[in-house]
Homo-oligomer: A and B are copies of this chain.
Amino acid sequence: DLFHEVEDYFAKMDKKQSLAGKKVIVSAAGTREPIDPVRYISNRSSGKMGYAIAEEAAQRGADVVLVSGITNLPAPENVKVIKVESARDMQSNIEQYFPDSDITIMAAAVSDYRVKEVAEQKIKKSDEVMTIELVKNPDILKGLGEKKTDKQFLVGFAAETQNVLEYAQGKLQRKNLDMIVANDVSQAQAGFNVDTNIAKIITRDGQIKQAPLMKKTELAQLIFDIIEEKMNIKA
């Protein structure tokens, strides 16, 4: 309603420019790996979480590049959006901006595998069974973790359906992250294409923050509050 719109408007106006001068990269949405010109493999990521993060960063005054997979979401205000399709497209675009970035948040659901041999023409098959051979895609997040300097803050996501905390802690270590945001996508209110999330935010120092059910826009705020605290950013 109008009351809340006006309230939101002033909340945005009031927002501290705590990230002014900072360069932020956000990846969002799912990538798509072609099988042939018509068919592809993808995943259920809607992009809502990553878009909310990019928007929040821009509202805090950061210089934001959003490298986005497949979604129909509108571009957030004051954000440079680069649309990509496959994991390798996403990688080359992120790596171009990474050396100069202060904060990189990988919220995209990147395809782990791509099709080994992409057909140039639509595949005509009459066989009762068919096999698709896949090969591993580059691990973008791990690559960034290996390259990052002490001044760069790197955040990953873990969308799991079981053993969420354990898996997320392992991923943070393995990929040299500063923070990981973990959520159980088998829960209806924390899943794909909904506006809410229930997340655990784990930082390099071992802190675990269990966030209650909240809007993805609110979780984006919480993520940056914790990043700013860990990076000792004072508004």
A positions within 8 Å CB-CB of B: 35, 37-44, 72, 109, 111-113, 116, 121-122, 125, 127-136, 159-162, 185-186, 192
Contact = CB atoms under 8 A, between A and B. Distances in A.
B109 A125 contact: no
A109 B38 contact: yes
- The number of times this chain is found in the oligomer is 2
Given A116-B129, A121-B162, A160-B122, A41 B41 contact: yes
A136 B129 contact: yes
Contacts of A121: 161-162
B113 A130 contact: yes
A100 to B, nearest CB: 32
Given A72-B72, A135-B129, A162-B121, A40 B35 contact: no
A185 B109 contact: no
Contacts of A160: 122
A35 B40 CA distance: 12
Given A128-B136, A133-B129, A134-B129, A39 B42 contact: yes
A40 B42 contact: yes
A25 to B, nearest CB: 23
Contacts of A186: 37
Nearest to A41: B41
A44 B38 contact: yes
28 contacts: A37-B185, A38-B43, A38-B109, A38-B159, A38-B161, A38-B185, A38-B192, A39-B41, A39-B42, A39-B111, A40-B41, A41-B41, A113-B130, A116-B129, A121-B162, A122-B159, A122-B160, A122-B161, A122-B185, A127-B136, A128-B136, A129-B133, A130-B134, A130-B135, A130-B136, A131-B131, A131-B133, A132-B134
